[in-house]
Amino acid sequence: MFMSPGEKLDPIPDNFILQPPVFYPVVPYVTTIFGGLHAGKMVMLQGMVPLDARRFQVDFQCGCSLRPQPDIAIHFNPRFHTTKPHVICNTRHGECWLTEARWPGLALQRGASFLILFLFENEEVKVSVNGQHFLHYRYRLPLSRVDTLGVSGDILVTVVGFLNINPFVEGSKEYPVGHPFLLESPRLAVPSSHALLRGLWPEQVIVVRGLVLQEPKDFTLSLKDEAAHALVTLRASFTDRTLAWISPWGRRKLISAPFLFHPQRFFEVLLLCQGGGLKLALNGQGIGATSLDQQALEQIRELRISGSVQLYCVHY
């Protein structure tokens, strides 16, 4: 499966592409949402509220013009300076604000860090704060019109991430958990080793997010037992653009799916322990599974990641 001179790469389906995260953006911050918004997409905002914060806003906009001002499909506006802190959600259409919706009991605090998830469904957006559902807001403008994200006000943003919902559950409307991105350099070293003291158990999800380096060679994710034997390995080869499961005896089982590990492109790997094996998803799309009996899963003691990648998140 080596490429011949002049051979063109097959186009990758839009729903397989994830926009790279943005670290420490300067606020006010405006960015294009690659491919726009659609049901099943998620935007993660990670940061901190300053001690003297009065208010900030997150706007999902229909364009980014200055004049006329763009429509805003979803306006999320926490306010801290009032007697009772609260959140306002609203929509701006034709340079006029519609009737606002108010939620008391603000789940954000001055001086505290936060992780906000915006989960977009067919009819409404759901918002969770620090892992707890906070509100839902029905669309007043078509979600398909949204192509821009704007963040402004009293807020310190560490990461803006773009993800997809849980691909493993039929009809799922929730992501497994909004695992934060890791920002401390010592924790991002590759190769990266992580102890699994209790092995793997049913419904456990391993989440790995990162960025492929500019001149990559390969990427491997191995699950090893106490004797450091790899019981199963997921390997991406940039030489022949293949993705495969590697058995303990070195046998390769190719995975038939678009090859997503491209230089300087963001990726997300999900492994779900379920049904006597591991199910695999890349960038929110389920693409296959490998068999591994429960006894073998319980014997796993180490998750090891190596190759030409920069890691942003490893959770298990």
pLDDT of residue 174: 55
Say yes or no to pLDDT of 169 above 70: no
Looking at the fold, whether 118 and 70 belong to one and the same domain comes out as: yes
Looking at the fold, whether 28 and 156 belong to one and the same domain comes out as: yes
Per-residue pLDDT, averaged over 87-101, amounts to 96
| Residues 128-156: tens digit of each pLDDT | 999 888 999 999 999 999 999 999 999 99
Residue 3 located in a structural domain: no
Whether the upstream peptide bond of residue 191 has omega within 30° of 0, thus cis, is yes
Per-residue pLDDT, averaged over 58-78, amounts to 93
pLDDT of residue 10: 53
Select from 107, 132, 164 the last residue of a domain. Answer: 164
Rounded-to-integer distance, Cα 288 and Cα 266, Å: 20
Looking at the fold, whether 140 and 192 belong to one and the same domain comes out as: no
Whether the upstream peptide bond of residue 176 has omega within 30° of 0, thus cis, is no
Looking at the fold, whether 30 and 149 belong to one and the same domain comes out as: yes
| Residues 225-277: tens digit of each pLDDT | 999 999 999 999 999 999 999 988 888 999 988 888 888 889 999 999 987 89
pLDDT of residue 49: 97
Per-residue pLDDT, averaged over 48-76, amounts to 94
Rounded-to-integer distance, Cα 291 and Cα 232, Å: 9
Say yes or no to pLDDT of 292 above 90: no
Looking at the fold, whether 205 and 142 belong to one and the same domain comes out as: no
Looking at the fold, whether 53 and 95 belong to one and the same domain comes out as: yes
Residue 181 located in a structural domain: no
Residue 5 located in a structural domain: no
Residue 44 located in a structural domain: yes
Looking at the fold, whether 28 and 150 belong to one and the same domain comes out as: yes
Q: How many distinct structural domains can be found in the chain?
A: 2
With beta carbons less than 8 A apart as the criterion, state whether 167 and 280 touch. Answer: no
Looking at the fold, whether 105 and 236 belong to one and the same domain comes out as: no
Six-digit token string for 200 = 């793997």
pLDDT of residue 108: 92
- Give the distance between the most distant pair of CA atoms in the chain: 68
Average pLDDT, rounded, for the chain: 88
Say yes or no to pLDDT of 187 above 60: no
Say yes or no to pLDDT of 223 above 50: yes
The domain of 142 spans 17-164
Looking at the fold, whether 53 and 119 belong to one and the same domain comes out as: yes
With beta carbons less than 8 A apart as the criterion, state whether 53 and 155 touch. Answer: yes
Looking at the fold, whether 83 and 26 belong to one and the same domain comes out as: yes
pLDDT of residue 315: 87
Q: 47 or 64: which carries more pLDDT confidence?
A: 47
Say yes or no to pLDDT of 294 above 70: yes
Looking at the fold, whether 193 and 295 belong to one and the same domain comes out as: yes
Residue 256 located in a structural domain: yes
Give the domain CATH number at 49.
2.60.120.200
Looking at the fold, whether 193 and 160 belong to one and the same domain comes out as: no
Say yes or no to pLDDT of 36 above 50: yes
List, in order, residues 6 or more apart from 246 with CB less than 8 Å away. 230, 232, 233, 234, 235, 252, 253
